[in-house]
């Protein structure tokens, strides 16, 4: 008796272990909507070109709608021996409508079918992630507007550098998310060519209309080389590359939230909804949501690396290795989506301790650069000399255990006689922040203007 899937070429079914390693229905069943959508478009095209009859096409489309309803209703039985979503759908279609179902696979292969399904799925997922990123940006914009005047220390090397505002800090992540959205949009634009009709690898001798199928599925047009059509997974790699960069951005913010929520910083407090306790230490409020976002970035990066390694040694056209593309993509995109939801929730609900932020900004000689700039403007010193004078004043203040504005005028004049009491006007953190009015700077007015620009861009 011949194998049901492979026809007369094989006399026996696969070994149990072969069935185990070969089956993908356990994960590719999530393609069901895309698979049925692609099959309906293919079927209608076959009828319009006269390759199959209108009557058969109508039966097939109605049957596919019935299969879709079964899957969405939870009544569909996915069968492992049928390997994948394509064969599961086709087998059930045959049970529902009989012999006409066998005409659906005319002029296509599972190779171009899965490439089309995967592109449709990735495209849908990019659209979903773009919406999530826009929500993340809006949450950040709300906090930036609320805290345009809230002073905090800006860091380099995690050492106090210069005062900034918390609003300005939030806006940095708005910019990052904007670039993430741009990368996803670029990936979407490049993937938007339809592989359906490339068949196994060489095209088909049937008079199909690939432009018609591509248009129905919302693609810009058909792919232009049948070999490339079925072997290309650049669209997955590019999307996972964008996802990895985005996850890295989220991880950086997650790390800052972890640091900021420690008692040593006390800059922010997460709500109970995004923290957990300890089984032994009753005082603990652990920032687990932020820590998990930080960790999930490693999964996304790992999934990208995994797929790159799968693809790097494959000749044209299709190889079964490419079945390993889906789980990595599903895992990465699921992890990123969950991370975006968690981070948006944390940003929206966290409490900002303005007093702690301001106190920290006032420590660590954060206005040293303002002093050096004043020496250049007021006394005409070359910046390198002003830098040296400021460094000497910092050392003097550190030795005395005070900040720069704790030095007396006489003590400052011991280092640079030309210093006047006007210098104290630049040593406060408020003056420092207010002075940073250059485009992209941290001045509160700049922050509010940036918020307005982004709100206009987001259409809110």
| pLDDT tens per residue across span 383-405 | 999 999 999 999 999 999 988 98
Q: Which residues of 179-218 are buried (b: 16+ CB within 10 A; e: fewer)?
A: ebbebbeebbeebbbbbbbbbebebbeeebebebbbbbbe
**Entry pTM:** 0.91
Contact of 233 with 303, CB cutoff 8 Å: no
pLDDT at 14 over 70: no
Q: What is the mean pLDDT of residues 125-151?
A: 98
Confidence (pLDDT) at 283: 75
Confidence (pLDDT) at 25: 86
User: In this structure, what are the phi and psi dihedrals at residue 153, rounded to the nearest 5 degrees?
Assistant: -75, 135
**Who's near 394: CB < 8 A, 6+ residues apart?**
365, 368, 404
Q: What is the mean pLDDT of residues 342-367?
A: 94
Counting every residue written for the chain, the total comes to 460
DSSP label at 14? P
pLDDT band for 10, please (50, 70, 90 cuts). Answer: low
Contact of 340 with 136, CB cutoff 8 Å: yes
Confidence (pLDDT) at 157: 93
Give burial (CB, 10 Å; 0-12/13-18/19+) of 298: middle
Q: What is the mean pLDDT of residues 186-204?
A: 97
Q: Which residue has the tokens 């079918």?
A: 113
pLDDT at 149 over 50: yes
Contact of 257 with 289, CB cutoff 8 Å: no
pLDDT band for 2, please (50, 70, 90 cuts). Answer: very low
What is the C-alpha separation between 292 and 247, in angstroms, rounded?
11
pLDDT at 68 over 50: yes
Please confirm, yes or no, whether 337 is among the known catalytic residues.
no
Q: What is the mean pLDDT of residues 28-33?
A: 93
pLDDT at 5 over 80: no
Contact of 388 with 396, CB cutoff 8 Å: no
HSE toward the beta carbon, residue 196, CA cutoff 13 A: 36
Please confirm, yes or no, whether 356 is among the known catalytic residues.
no
Count H helices and E strands in the chain, helices first: 18, 6
List the structure tokens of 263.
């008692």
Catalytic-role residue among 2, 53, 278, 425: 278
pLDDT band for 313, please (50, 70, 90 cuts). Answer: very high
Q: How far is CA 206 from CA 196, 201, 216, 224, 298, in A?
A: 13, 14, 19, 17, 47
**Who's near 361: CB < 8 A, 6+ residues apart?**
151, 152, 153, 160, 163, 164, 429
Contact of 66 with 106, CB cutoff 8 Å: no
pLDDT band for 4, please (50, 70, 90 cuts). Answer: low
List the structure tokens of 33.
């909507």
pLDDT at 1 over 50: no
Q: What is the mean pLDDT of residues 321-348?
A: 96
**Average model confidence (pLDDT) for the chain?**
93
With a pLDDT cut of 70, the percent of the chain lying above it is 97
User: In this structure, what are the phi and psi dihedrals at residue 420, rounded to the nearest 5 degrees?
Assistant: -115, 175
Q: What is the mean pLDDT of residues 12-33?
A: 82
pLDDT at 7 over 60: no
């Amino acid at each position: 008796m011949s194998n049901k899937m492979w026809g007369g070429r094989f006399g026996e079914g696969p070994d149990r272990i072969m069935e185990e390693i070969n089956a993908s229905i356990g994960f590719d069943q999530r393609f069901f909507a895309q698979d049925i959508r692609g099959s309906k478009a293919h079927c209608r095209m076959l009828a319009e070109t006269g390759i199959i009859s209108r009557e058969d096409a109508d039966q097939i489309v109605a049957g596919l709608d019935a299969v879709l309803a079964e899957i969405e209703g939870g009544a569909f039985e996915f069968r492992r021996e049928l390997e994948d979503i394509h064969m599961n759908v086709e087998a059930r279609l045959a049970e529902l409508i009989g012999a006409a179902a066998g005409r659906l696979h005319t002029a296509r292969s599972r190779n171009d079918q899965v490439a089309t399904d995967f592109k449709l799925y990735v495209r849908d997922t990019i659209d979903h992630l773009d919406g999530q990123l826009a929500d993340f940006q809006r949450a950040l914009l709300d906090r930036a507007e609320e805290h345009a005047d809230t002073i905090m220390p800006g860091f380099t090397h995690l050492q106090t550098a210069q005062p900034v505002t918390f609003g300005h800090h939030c806006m940095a992540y708005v910019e990052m998310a904007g670039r993430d959205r741009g990368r996803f949009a670029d990936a979407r634009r490049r993937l938007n060519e339809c592989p359906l009709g490339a068949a196994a690898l060489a095209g088909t001798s049937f008079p199909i209309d690939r432009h018609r199928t591509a248009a129905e599925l919302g693609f810009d047009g058909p792919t232009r080389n049948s070999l490339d059509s079925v072997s290309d997974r650049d669209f997955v790699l590019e999307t996972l590359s964008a996802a990895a960069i985005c996850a890295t951005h989220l991880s950086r913010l997650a790390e800052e939230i972890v640091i900021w929520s420690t008692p040593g910083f006390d800059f922010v407090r997460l709500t109970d909804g995004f923290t957990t306790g300890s089984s032994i230490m009753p005082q603990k409020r652990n920032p687990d949501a932020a820590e998990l976002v930080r960790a999930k970035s490693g999964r996304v990066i790992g999934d990208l690396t995994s797929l790159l390694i799968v693809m790097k040694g494959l000749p044209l056209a299709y190889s079964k290795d490419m079945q390993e593309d889906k789980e990595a993509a599903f895992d990465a995109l699921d992890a990123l989506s969950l991370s975006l939801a968690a981070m948006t929730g944390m940003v929206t609900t966290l409490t900002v301790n303005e007093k702690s932020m301001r106190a920290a900004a006032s420590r660590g000689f954060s206005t040293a650069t303002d002093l050096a700039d004043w020496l250049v403007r007021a006394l005409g010193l070359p910046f390198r000399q002003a830098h040296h004078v400021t460094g000497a004043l910092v050392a003097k203040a550190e030795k005395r255990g005070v900040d720069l504005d704790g030095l007396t005028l006489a003590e400052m004049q011991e280092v640079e006689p030309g210093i006047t009491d006007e210098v104290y006007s630049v040593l406060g953190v408020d003056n420092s922040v207010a002075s940073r009015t250059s485009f992209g700077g941290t001045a509160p007015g700049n922050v509010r203007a940036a918020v307005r620009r982004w709100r206009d861009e987001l259409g809110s």
